[in-house]
Amino acid sequence: MIESKTKPTKPWGEIGQSAFGDKSTSSEKGSISQSILAIGLQDTDVSGLVAPPKIAILGASSDHLIIKSDLALGDEVRFGLNYSAMLRAMTSPFIAKEYLNPLGSSL
């Protein structure tokens, strides 16, 4: 995690479209605890990530993922992945991979 702050749920000013042609549809729900993770659409299929309990995925850019959480800076978050998310993560040169043998130790 590279940032963790309490922020408003709706950005101020005019909302434009992302580099992928999407336009945010966030609504005002007050301030919430949000975190930025250093993983994004260039690394994985964000729609195929399964967040752990008490964490919600709010959005993503090409290189960052925004989550709702009460985590501290530097905490690690582990997601479940569907096939599409795993395929993109495994072929991304920006993702470190560690292969485990069936007993759980590194190869």
> b/e per residue, 57-78, with b = 16+ CB within 10 A?
bbebeeebbbbbbebeeeeebe
The model carries a pTM of 0.76
Consecutive sets of 10 residues in the chain, 107 residues long: mean pLDDT of each?
A: 80 69 68 91 95 93 92 88 95 86 67
**Cα-based angle 47, 10, 27 (whole degrees, multiple of 5):** 70
- What is the pLDDT, as a whole number, of residue 98? 83
Residue 82 near residue 51, CB atoms below 8 Å: no
Q: Which residue has the tokens 């690394």?
A: 43
Q: Which residue has the tokens 């709010």?
A: 58
- What is the pLDDT, as a whole number, of residue 32? 86
Distance CA 66, CA 40 (A): 9
* Burial (Cβ within 10 Å: 0-12, 13-18, ≥19) of residue 35: buried
